[in-house]
Amino acid sequence: MAEDKFTAIIVGAGPAGSTAAYLLAEQGIDVLLIERGETPGCKNMFGGRMYSYALHRIIPEFWEEAPLERQISREVITMLDGEKSTSISCQDENWAKPPYHSFTLLRAEFDAWLAAKAEDAGAILACGIRVDDVIMEDNRIIGIRAGDDEILADVVIAADGANSIITEKAGLRSKLSPADLATGVKEVIELPAKTIEERFNLQPDTGAAHLYAGTCTQGMSGGGFLYTNKSSISLGLVIKAAELQKNQYMLVDLIEDFKNQPSIAPLISGGEVVEYSAHLVPEAGISMAPRLFSDGILVTGDAAGFCINLGYLVRGMDLAIASGEAAAMSVVEAVKKNDFSAASLGIYTDLLVKNGVWSVMEAYRRAPQMLDTERLYTSYPTLLNNLLADMFTIDGSPPINLIDKLRQEVKNSKTSFINLAGDAWKGGRSL
Amino acid sequence: MKKMNMQQLLACDKFEVDDEEHHIVLNKEVCRSCQAKPCIYACPAGLYTLKDGEINFDDAGCLECGTCRLICPQEGALSWHYPRGNFGVVYRYG
Ligand SMILES: Cc1cc2nc3c(=O)[nH]c(=O)nc-3n(C[C@H](O)[C@H](O)[C@H](O)COP(=O)(O)OP(=O)(O)OC[C@H]3O[C@@H](n4cnc5c(N)ncnc54)[C@H](O)[C@@H]3O)c2cc1C
Ligand code: SF4
Ligand code: SF4
């Protein structure tokens, strides 16, 4: 290694970048991991839960050492409509046994831990450095520029997240479209662990994941989330950016109203807000993916659009880790051949197919269009809540049978059976 | 829980303020020709405000989410960068 040249430079110490750095360092490859925050994680936020399988493959039984909050054993989805709400709750104790299905976590601690693992394995971690540009020579990427500094490498891995400047600078995609991403806002609300366990009916280590659709987004495409940490609640909203373009509500009012929904307020009552954060979420799936590789560069994690938001399920951490793994393995192969051209790095797509990332993205190819259906955020929550609330309301008037009630509710909500059937069919195929 | 306002929420966060360099700079000339001004509602930190019909902006309190960069419809209105290394928001939870 020349003084100022690395085999690999990784931009961004999120889960994608740190995983790639860890695996490369483990293979004895010299790698520089650059992060703009003063510590890895201090610029990052997410909803709250990571599915375990991907990291378990790389660091077996990572839960023995990683800073985690609670293992999720209950999933709840709720349709909100003002004063009314309808929930489905699913509990599986197997989720709370090794190999734990998923964990809530907080990024400041978790990302710092994962980056430290990479450092321990031999990667050089440089924090507090913002990468401004890539260096190109004869159409190939040969390094990065940060302020006045230039650092060279055989290959650069862009792991700089949803709002990836590096992918743009490298010419791998044009400007992002507001139709392809959402903005997430979140509050961390501190409560004693015991209070959380009582309110959510949890064991000392188990946790709950709640996802919400309906009035919390004022009809905009998006939803709410609530995750239980050890002694705090992560609560927030994710709303499609294109909707925010025509929005007439301040996000701060939406999240504050969300907190005061009758089905949520008692869960967080008495808690203290200790942080407010915001971040973009890639939502368009495969259709927004940039070119994933070119001469001297690979794109991974959110920067590549490897994130799935289905409303009842959000996955980005596992896909970031798995795509970071594929990127690292591609570089290992390129090092063997001493060839960092696009042709050589193209093995990346094969490895993404092999380790499952690509099939996840393919499987949900149609989901973004499906989730654009406005009815999901307006008429359907109202319809469902009215139907069920009526069913449970006894006021002495003559009962109407369920089918008639459904007919009536569909008529009242500005939708039709044809829409309903069409959306159900689309939903079944795309989710 | 009592409704919190933007100032109260941002006061929960830690920021390393950069006194020398702004990371987001507006070209107010371009903003003047922007009809919808979606940044006012879309910025989760509420940093874009309207004052006498003109957009007022200060990047102190920016959460670095990139939403304004994404949704601004006017070419050349925003010179958008992340803050210099070490500066800006510091999430202690995330
Ligand atoms: C509101 C919200 C809720 C979510 N909920 C979930 C969830 O519950 N479960 C789940 O699995 N996923 C969730 N996600 C998605 C998940 O957070 C991402 O998919 C994941 O963080 C992507 O990892 P990454 O490493 O690709 O990018 P990031 O985690 O964004 O990391 C990128 C890193 O690069 C650094 N960086 C960026 N630019 C530069 C630069 N120019 N120079 C140097 N460093 C730079 C950043 O500081 C950061 O550390 C959610 C996301 C959001 C926003
Ligand atoms: S959306 Fe862009 S152009 Fe319009 S007012 Fe805001 S910053 Fe200016
Ligand atoms: S980056 Fe996000 S928080 Fe900062 S000004 Fe733009 S929209 Fe507001």
CA angle A163, B62, A145 (to 5 degrees): 50
List the structure tokens of A194: 């015991």
Residue A247 has its nearest CB partner, among B8, B9, B42, at B42
> What is the Cα–Cα distance from A181 to A288, expressed in whole angstroms?
9
Judge whether residue A336 has pLDDT over 50.
Answer: yes
CB atoms within 10 A of CB A422: 13
Tell me, yes or no, whether A305 and A408 share the same domain: no
* Least confident residue range of A189-193, A237-241, A407-411: A407-411
The secondary structure of residue A95, as a DSSP letter, is: G
A192-242 pLDDT, tens digit each: 999 999 999 999 999 999 999 998 888 888 999 999 999 999 999 999 999
In this structure, the answer to whether residues A124 and A251 fall within a common structural domain is no
Does the pLDDT of residue A244 top 70, yes or no? Answer: yes
- Residue A427, pLDDT > 80, answer no
Kindly tell me if the per-residue pLDDT of A64 is higher than 60. yes
Report the greatest alpha carbon distance in chain B. 42
pLDDT in the model for residue A215: 85
Mutate to test the pocket of ligand 3, among B22, B58, B67, B69 (most ligand atoms within 8 A of CB): B67
> Is pLDDT above 60 for A1?
no
Q: Is residue A325 part of a domain?
A: yes
* Amino acid A426: pLDDT: 77
Q: Which of A34, A254, A279, A283 is the best residue to mutate to test the B interface, defined by the most B CB atoms within 10 Å of its own CB?
A: A279
B53 in contact with chain A, both atoms CB, cutoff 8 A: no
Residue A139 above 60 pLDDT? Answer: yes
Structure tokens at A183: 């903005």
Percent of chain A with pLDDT over 70: 99
- In this structure, the answer to whether residues A111 and A31 fall within a common structural domain is yes
CA nearest A274 in B: which residue? B12
Position A200 in a domain:
yes
On average, the pLDDT of chain A sits at 93
**Between residues A138 and A1, which one has the greater pLDDT?**
A138
Please identify, among A364, A390, A409, the residue that sits at the C-terminal boundary of a domain.
A364
Are the C-beta atoms of A118 and A25 separated by less than 8 Å?
A: yes
> Cα–Cα distance between A197 and A193 in angstroms, integer?
6
Residues of chain A above pLDDT 90, percent: 76
The CATH number that domain B28-77 falls under is 3.30.70.20
Domain range list for chain B: 28-77
- Looking at the fold, whether A61 and A143 belong to one and the same domain comes out as yes
SS3 A97: coil
Identify which of A177, A141, A144 has the alpha carbon closest to the alpha carbon of residue A162.
A177
State the average pLDDT over residues A28-37. 98
Given a cut of 90, is residue A294 above it in pLDDT?
Answer: yes
Pair of tokens at residue A361: 């993205």
Q: Considering its fold, how many domains does chain A have in total?
A: 3
* pLDDT at res. A398: 86
CB-CB under 8 Å, A276 with B12: yes
Grouping H, G, I as helix, E, B as strand and the rest as coil, residue A169 is helix
Looking at per-residue confidence, does A56 or A285 come out higher?
A: A56
Q: From the CB of B47, is ligand 2 less than 6 Å away?
A: no
Nearest CA in chain A to B39: A245
Residue A333 has pLDDT above 90, yes or no: yes
List the beta bridge partners of residue A88.
A77
Q: Are A420 and A410 in contact (CB under 8 A)?
A: yes
User: Is residue B55 a contact partner of residue B37, using CB atoms and an 8 Å limit?
Assistant: yes
Question: In 3-state terms, chain B is what percent helix, strand and coil (to 5)?
Answer: 20, 20, 60
A196/A144 same-domain check: no
Residue A84 lies in a domain: no
| pLDDT tens digits, one per residue of A255-287 | 999 999 999 999 999 999 999 999 999 998 888
Q: Would you state the pLDDT for residue A3?
A: 55
DSSP assignment of A334-392: HHHHT--SHHHHTHHHHHHHHTTHHHHHHHTTTHHHHTT-GGGTTHHHHHHHHHHHHHH
Q: Say yes or no: CB of residue A315 within 6 Å of ligand 1.
A: yes
Same-domain pairing of A288 and A265: no
Assess whether A325 and A384 both reside in one domain.
no
Pair A156, A215 in one domain = no
Report pLDDT for A2.
Answer: 44
Pick from A421, A413, A403: which is nearest to A379 by CA? A413
Q: Which of A321, A340, A364 is the last residue of a domain?
A: A364
Please indicate if any CB of chain A lies within 8 Å of the CB of B77.
Answer: no
pLDDT, mean of each 10-residue run, chain B (94 residues):
93 96 96 94 95 92 97 95 97 98
Domain that includes residue A112, residue range: 5-70+104-178+284-364
The residues pairing with A51 across neighbouring beta strands, listed in sequence order, are A102
Least confident of A137-151, A269-283, A304-318, B61-75: A304-318
> What residues of A are in contact with residue B84 (Cβ under 8 Å)?
130, 147
